[in-house]
Amino acid sequence: MMIADLSSTFPVDVLCTTLDCPRSSYYYQAVPSSDDALVTAIEQIVIRWPRYGYRRVTAQLQREGWTVNSKVVRRLMQEFGLHCRMGHVRLHTTDSTHGFPRFPNLVRDLVAVRPDHIWVADITYIRLGTGFVYLAVILDVFTRAVRGWHLGRSLGHELALSALQMALRSRVPQFHHSDQGVQYAARGYVAVLQERSVQISMADVGQPTQNAYAERFMRTLKEEHVDYAEYRDVSDARAQMGHWLEVEYMQERIHSALAYATPAEFEAAFWGLFPRSTP
């Protein structure tokens, strides 16, 4: 810079006036951006949880010890394009053309007010090589917790039944809600629920919005895990899926609907406030 070169001969004030350069501009020294570390932290969160918006990213940063507000996070995410969306194929997994009894929608206007008040169930497909495997999941509406799951090679009745049996090992819901797929209407599945006095509820045919909690969960599963996973075989897919469902989703992934807590944290907090009654 010319002023620096001449400053040993002439006063800086004179040089700045002569060259029409504000003294503040001369004395200013660029400093490294203080946002670099924060941007890196945001990148790591978005890579792990690609569907997080800026509010949940902010909450996760705060959980990790950052002192930052949502306006800063939103600005940085916009500036650096820290968003990721991926598409995927669609495969039909619901067969409602069966002769089994059907049940009315009992939870249409019902709000879950405690853990195990309402369970919702659904099935999705996962690409494996040139074929597919299938995942059945049971979700607790109030806590968003996964109660049961099973990954199998076929859409047979045992797929959904295995997930239900896992869920019922330690808990029983008041309501069980699903679509009208044959897996949920099958006699064996219905009998297991009725033996435990569970009220069975089903969405109307062709109305996936009536099972919105389960549908949304499956979309999250695809967008945050399946779309980024590479499975060697069914056993590897089952192991990776189990880790995501039982560790990452249940214990690490925060939910805006749960006051930015994980399902495990939210349920623990509920029972801390409202202890289970003892016989």
- In a shared domain, residues 49 and 124: no
- In a shared domain, residues 11 and 55: no
C-alpha–C-alpha distance, residues 246 and 174, integer Å = 23
What pLDDT is attached to residue 78? 81
- In a shared domain, residues 68 and 124: no
Domain housing 70: 35-86
C-alpha–C-alpha distance, residues 38 and 60, integer Å = 12
Residue 12 belongs to some domain of the structure: yes
Q: What CATH number is associated with residue 249?
A: 3.30.420.10
- In a shared domain, residues 1 and 53: no
- In a shared domain, residues 175 and 243: yes
- Overall domain count for the chain: 3
Residue 141 belongs to some domain of the structure: yes
Residue 71 belongs to some domain of the structure: yes
Residue 136 belongs to some domain of the structure: yes
What are the tens digits of pLDDT across the range 51-66?
Answer: 788 899 999 999 999 9
Q: In terms of Cα–Cα distance, which of 162, 184, 155, 176 is closest to 92?
A: 155
Neighbours of 82 (CB within 10 A): 19
* Sheet bearing 118-128, strands edge to edge: 146-152, 131-140, 118-128, 175-178, 199-202
- Does residue 169 register a pLDDT over 90? yes
What are the tens digits of pLDDT across the range 45-99?
Answer: 887 887 788 899 999 999 999 999 999 998 888 876 676 554 444 555 555 667 7
- In a shared domain, residues 46 and 169: no
- In a shared domain, residues 208 and 134: yes
C-alpha atoms less than 13 angstroms from C-alpha of 90 in its C-beta half-sphere:
3
- In a shared domain, residues 44 and 141: no
Average per-residue pLDDT in the chain? 85
| In contact, 194 and 172? CB cutoff 8 Å | no
- In a shared domain, residues 74 and 126: no
**Strand partners for 118:** 175
What pLDDT is attached to residue 87? 46
Residue 113 belongs to some domain of the structure: no
Residues in contact with 156: Cβ distance below 8 Å, sequence separation at least 6, in sequence order: 183
Residue 103 belongs to some domain of the structure: no
**Token code pair at residue 14:** 């004179």
- The confidence band for 144, taking pLDDT boundaries of 50, 70 and 90, is very high
**Best-predicted range by mean pLDDT (12-16, 95-99, 236-240):** 236-240
| Block residue for tokens 């939910």 | 255
- pLDDT above 70 covers a percentage of the chain that reads 80
| Block residue for tokens 């049961």 | 148
Residue 112 belongs to some domain of the structure: no
Q: In terms of Cα–Cα distance, which of 276, 279, 278 is closest to 115?
A: 276
- In a shared domain, residues 179 and 230: yes
Q: For the whole model, what pTM was predicted?
A: 0.73
Q: In terms of Cα–Cα distance, which of 106, 122, 216 is closest to 167?
A: 122
C-alpha–C-alpha distance, residues 149 and 119, integer Å = 13
What pLDDT is attached to residue 14? 60
What pLDDT is attached to residue 84? 53
Q: Dihedral sign, CA of 183, 188, 191, 193? A: negative
**Best-predicted range by mean pLDDT (44-48, 208-212, 244-248):** 244-248
- In a shared domain, residues 200 and 256: yes
User: In one letter, which amino acid is 63?
Assistant: R
Q: For 38-52, 159-173, 241-255, which range has the lowest pLDDT when averaged over its residues? A: 38-52
Residue 238 belongs to some domain of the structure: yes
Q: In terms of Cα–Cα distance, which of 30, 29, 31, 43 is closest to 79?
A: 43
- In a shared domain, residues 41 and 13: no
